[in-house]
């Protein structure tokens, strides 16, 4: 009796001609997730299987696969040659020891001498004999023992399944540049876009030495946490100190954050275009803080020329966002109390409802803005996280 892990993917997006494309990208992502493990990955018509893995790796493999977007659920199954005695033995093995159950049979191999119903009845009887604490409930069983008889001469027997991440395979919906701070929100925003199939790149602005090196390390750790879901993440770490000092020197202090945000998105847009990204992504949520009023968002958006800015958290409550941060395990990193560059030179009375023309004219007070932006981009540190070498 061999154990295998059976993988299922959502069928919804698999319509028409895109089907083999989606399947191919998903298979590539699964292979990457399995790279650290010794195992065999096989595809049949609409199933994937992980076989010949070390039993001691089973938990780690499942843990990894539940983070691959596009997979819907998985089951650990016993694989046997299609032979009735072997099938019944496997069914007994898979059945729980107590509670209620029923047997469900799928029979793709129509050459067998018994039909699905007959097989289910016989398997059920044998299970009851071997595990007398069990009882049958055909309508609302606590457990279902599934017998899946395939055309290839093999049968898969399993009970129960593990939910996977759902969504679309990463790489099927283009690329996006995430503005990644050390806070709770932006990692969740990146994760949500990856769930829709987007490949995520990231940019982080730091104000060393006004902010500590640990603040930067925190963001690297956040990006690493996302890689099991997002795959490889290219992270640009951009020094923002000189720009901030110039804003501080030249602009009305109350507009500090407004102007900073405008320049952040300008830099992000340039990087995005150089990388072939089709959008920017931020962790903004309407009304959450002063810089996220409608007017603030408008004045930030105004500085982006050609790309859409996706804000997947715009209508989420902080509590919902924090729950997601817990779910993706970024919460504990985000809560570390290192300063973000936005807290440097923080004005006493930041404008909460900036007027667009004032935002523009404050930014225009900067001298040599273009050169400042270019200097920041040229000095960026580029890290590739979650690659197989990482
Ligand atoms: P977060 O929890 O993501 O930091 P926040 O509630 O602290 O969000 P803001 O500080 O107003 O909100 O930031 C809004 C968005 O601007 C962030 O979600 C992020 O996308 C971007 N951002 C802010 N600071 C930085 C930074 N230092 N580097 C890159 N992006 C940033
Ligand atoms: Mg923040």
Chain segment 287-326, per-residue pLDDT in tens = 877 779 999 999 999 999 999 999 999 999 999 999 999 9
**Same domain (yes/no): 186, 295:** yes
- Cα 214 to ligand 2 centre (Å): 15
Which atom of ligand 1 is least distant from the CA of 206?
27
Ligand closest to 211 (CA) is 1
**Same domain (yes/no): 224, 334:** yes
Q: Please, which residues have CB within 8 angstroms of residue 367's CB and are 6 or more apart in sequence?
A: 246, 250
**Same domain (yes/no): 154, 192:** no
Q: Is residue 390 part of a domain?
A: no
Where a domain ends, among 139, 163, 187? 163
Provide the domain count of the chain.
Answer: 2
Q: Is residue 288 part of a domain?
A: yes
- Establish whether residue 180 lines the binding site of ligand 1, counting it when its CB lies within 6 angstroms of any ligand atom: yes
Q: Is residue 81 part of a domain?
A: yes
Q: Is residue 158 part of a domain?
A: yes
- Cα 334 to ligand 2 centre (Å): 10
Q: Are 12 and 164 in contact (CB under 8 A)?
A: no
- Establish whether residue 239 lines the binding site of ligand 1, counting it when its CB lies within 6 angstroms of any ligand atom: no
User: Which residue's alpha carbon is at the smallest distance from atom 30 of ligand 1?
Assistant: 179
**Same domain (yes/no): 268, 369:** yes
Q: Is residue 170 part of a domain?
A: no
Flag the least confident range among 228-237, 265-274, 280-289, 314-323.
280-289
- Cα 390 to ligand 2 centre (Å): 27
- Establish whether residue 241 lines the binding site of ligand 1, counting it when its CB lies within 6 angstroms of any ligand atom: no
Where a domain ends, among 163, 195, 218? 163
**Same domain (yes/no): 186, 294:** yes
| Overall residue count recorded for the chain in this entry | 390
Q: Which of 357, 384, 366 is nearest to 223 (CA)?
A: 384
- Establish whether residue 352 lines the binding site of ligand 1, counting it when its CB lies within 6 angstroms of any ligand atom: no
pLDDT at 344 over 90: no
For the chain, what is the mean pLDDT? 93
Greatest C-alpha distance within the chain: 86
pLDDT at site 69? 96
Whichever domain contains 138, its CATH number is 3.30.2130.30
pLDDT at 16 over 70: yes
- Establish whether residue 339 lines the binding site of ligand 1, counting it when its CB lies within 6 angstroms of any ligand atom: no
**Same domain (yes/no): 327, 376:** yes
**Same domain (yes/no): 244, 292:** yes
- Cα 117 to ligand 1 centre (Å): 58
Whichever domain contains 348, its CATH number is 3.40.50.620
Flag the least confident range among 18-27, 117-126, 160-169, 278-287.
18-27
* Rounded Cα gap, residues 113 and 385, in angstroms: 54
pLDDT at site 389? 45
pLDDT at 351 over 70: yes
User: What is the token pair recorded at 57?
Assistant: 């790796």
Q: Are 317 and 259 in contact (CB under 8 A)?
A: no
- Establish whether residue 190 lines the binding site of ligand 1, counting it when its CB lies within 6 angstroms of any ligand atom: no
Q: Is residue 168 part of a domain?
A: no
- Establish whether residue 296 lines the binding site of ligand 1, counting it when its CB lies within 6 angstroms of any ligand atom: no
Q: Does pTM top 0.85 for this prediction?
A: yes
* Rounded Cα gap, residues 236 and 118, in angstroms: 62
Sheet arrangement for strand 233-239: 309-310, 279-281, 175-179, 199-206, 233-239, 381-385
Span 219-223, mean pLDDT?
97
User: Which residue's alpha carbon is at the smallest distance from atom 18 of ligand 1?
Assistant: 283
- Establish whether residue 244 lines the binding site of ligand 1, counting it when its CB lies within 6 angstroms of any ligand atom: no
If one compares 79 and 151, the residue with the highest pLDDT of the two is 79
**Same domain (yes/no): 179, 304:** yes
**Same domain (yes/no): 223, 313:** yes
**Same domain (yes/no): 107, 212:** no
Chain segment 156-201, per-residue pLDDT in tens = 999 999 999 999 999 999 999 999 999 999 999 999 999 999 999 9
Q: Is residue 33 part of a domain?
A: yes
Where a domain ends, among 133, 163, 193? 163
- Establish whether residue 310 lines the binding site of ligand 1, counting it when its CB lies within 6 angstroms of any ligand atom: no
Q: Are 374 and 221 in contact (CB under 8 A)?
A: no
Helices 294-301 and 356-364, packing angle to 10 deg: 50
**Same domain (yes/no): 193, 137:** no
Grouping H, G, I as helix, E, B as strand and the rest as coil, residue 204 is strand
Q: Is residue 169 part of a domain?
A: no
Ligand closest to 216 (CA) is 1
- Establish whether residue 268 lines the binding site of ligand 1, counting it when its CB lies within 6 angstroms of any ligand atom: no
If one compares 359 and 208, the residue with the highest pLDDT of the two is 359
Residue 390: pLDDT band by 50, 70, 90 thresholds? very low
pLDDT at 151 over 60: yes
Q: Which of 183, 216, 189 is nearest to 331 (CA)?
A: 183
**Same domain (yes/no): 309, 218:** yes
pLDDT at 208 over 90: no
Q: Which domain, by its residues, includes 158?
A: 2-163
């Amino acid at each position: 009796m061999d154990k295998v892990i059976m993988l299922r993917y959502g069928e919804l997006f698999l319509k028409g001609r895109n089907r083999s494309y989606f399947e191919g990208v998903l298979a590539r992502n699964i292979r990457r997730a399995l790279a650290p493990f010794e195992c065999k990955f096989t595809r049949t018509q609409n199933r994937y299987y992980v076989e010949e893995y070390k039993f001691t790796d089973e938990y780690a493999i499942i843990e990894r696969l539940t983070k691959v977007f596009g997979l819907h659920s998985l089951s650990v199954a016993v694989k046997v040659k299609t032979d009735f005695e072997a099938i019944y033995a496997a069914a007994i093995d898979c059945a729980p020891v107590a509670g209620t159950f029923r047997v469900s049979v799928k029979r793709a191999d129509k050459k067998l001498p018994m039909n699905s119903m007959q097989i289910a009845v016989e398997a059920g009887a044998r299970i009851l004999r071997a595990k007398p604490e069990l009882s049958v409930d055909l309508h609302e069983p606590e457990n279902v023992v599934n017998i899946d008889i395939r055309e290839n001469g093999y049968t898969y027997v399993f009970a129960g399944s593990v939910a996977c991440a759902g969504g679309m395979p990463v790489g099927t919906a283009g690329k996006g540049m995430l503005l990644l701070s050390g806070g709770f929100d932006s990692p969740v925003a990146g994760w949500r876009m990856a769930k829709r199939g987007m490949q995520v790149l990231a940019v982080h602005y730091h104000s060393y030495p006004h902010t500590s090196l640990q603040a930067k390390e925190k963001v690297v750790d956040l990006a690493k946490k996302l890689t099991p879901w997002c795959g490889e993440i290219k992270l640009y770490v951009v020094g923002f100190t000189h720009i901030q000092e110039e804003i501080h020197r030249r602009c009305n202090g109350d507009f500090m954050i407004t102007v900073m945000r405008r320049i952040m998105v300008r830099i992000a847009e340039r990087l995005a275009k150089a990388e072939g990204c089709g959008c920017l992504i931020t962790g903004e949520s309407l009304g959450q803080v002063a810089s996220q009023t409608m007017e603030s968002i408008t004045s930030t958006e105004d500085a982006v020329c050609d790309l859409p800015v996706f804000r997947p958290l715009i209508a989420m409550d902080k509590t919902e966002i924090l729950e997601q941060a817990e779910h993706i395990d970024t919460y504990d990193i985000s809560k570390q109390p290192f300063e973000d560059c936005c807290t440097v030179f923080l004005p006493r009375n930041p404008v909460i409802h900036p007027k667009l023309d004032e935002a523009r004219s404050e930014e225009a007070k900067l001298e040599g803005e273009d050169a400042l932006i270019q200097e920041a981009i040229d000095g960026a540190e580029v890290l590739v996280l979650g690659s197989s070498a990482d």
